[in-house]
Structures are given as C-alpha cells and as structure tokens.
Amino acid sequence: MRKLIITGLAALLLVMVIACGKNPENGKLDGMWQLTEIESANGVSISKKSDRIYYSFQLHVVELRRIGYDEYRGHFDYTGDSLSLHMRDYMIKDTCSFFGLKTMNDQFAIEVLTGSNMMLRRDNVRLKFRKF
C-alpha cells in the first residue's frame, strides 16, 4: 500500500512539473536584450550605447529600461519578420530617441534574430542588440 501511495505522489508531482513548464511564447525574442548600437541603414554608427539600456520581452509585454532611470512599459506585436512596439507609459520625444524609437508606437523589420543577437531596422535606422 505504501509503495502505491509513493508511486501515485511521484506521478502527480511529475505531471505538475511538466504542466507548469513554460515555453517561450515568442521564441528567440523572449528575454532581455541589451541595446549596443544605433546605426544608419548604410552602416555608419550614430550612437554606441555604453549606457546600460535594455529591452525585455515576455508574453506580449515589453519593458524598456535604463539602469538608474525610469522604466517604460507597453505591449508589442511580433509576427516573425516584424516587431511593433506600443508604449503605454508616456515617453517624451528625447526619451524615445534615446531608446532608438521614433515615437511611442514604432514598427521595425527584424533583420537578425538569433539566440544571442538581434538587429531591428526602421526607415534608415538600425538597432543592434545582444542577448543579456
């Protein structure tokens, strides 16, 4: 009887662990990305980002953060080759450009998305990230 109870509890625990595991909903996009450089579309560096600026993607929520300063949240739409950001927290134009955004609602083409690098392009600007 005792073996049956132990086996039943072990099976229940195994089912709970498997059921609670979460796969990344957005594939390689999910996680924290550090913005390393903003460059023009022809490859000329506009701004090297030594500041610690991060984009975090989880489920459908995006958070933009500069360590020691304000954080900004919004949601995003990811379709595999494009990414649209819709910031819910108010950002002035200077703050948008600091994060590489044109406006609070911005759309990018995804040029590169691997497990360690991401490159987004909008108009004639390219944002480069490394996975953090």
| CATH code assigned at 38 | 2.40.128.280
User: Does residue 77 fall inside a structural domain?
Assistant: yes
Question: What is the Cβ-side half-sphere exposure of residue 23, based on CA atoms within 13 angstroms?
Answer: 5
Tell which wins on pLDDT, 35 or 93: 35
Three-class SS of residue 38?
A: strand
pLDDT (tens digit per residue) in 80-95: 899 999 999 898 888 8
Q: pLDDT class for 72, splitting at 50, 70, 90?
A: very high
Query: What pLDDT was estimated at residue 13?
Result: 61
User: Does residue 54 fall inside a structural domain?
Assistant: yes
Cα(108)–Cα(101) distance, rounded to whole angstroms? Answer: 10
Tell which wins on pLDDT, 33 or 69: 33
Cα(8)–Cα(92) distance, rounded to whole angstroms? Answer: 58
User: Does residue 15 fall inside a structural domain?
Assistant: no
User: Does residue 71 fall inside a structural domain?
Assistant: yes
User: Does residue 8 fall inside a structural domain?
Assistant: no
Please tell me the total count of domains within the chain. Answer: 1
pTM beyond 0.85, yes or no: no
pLDDT (tens digit per residue) in 91-113: 888 889 889 999 999 999 999 99
Cα(30)–Cα(59) distance, rounded to whole angstroms? Answer: 8
Please say whether the beta carbons of 129 and 33 come within 8 A. yes
With left for phi above 0 and alpha for psi between -120 and 50, is residue 98 left, alpha or beta?
A: alpha
User: Does residue 125 fall inside a structural domain?
Assistant: yes
Domain range spanning residue 38?
25-131
User: Does residue 105 fall inside a structural domain?
Assistant: yes
Least confident of 21-30, 40-49, 50-59: 40-49
User: Does residue 19 fall inside a structural domain?
Assistant: no
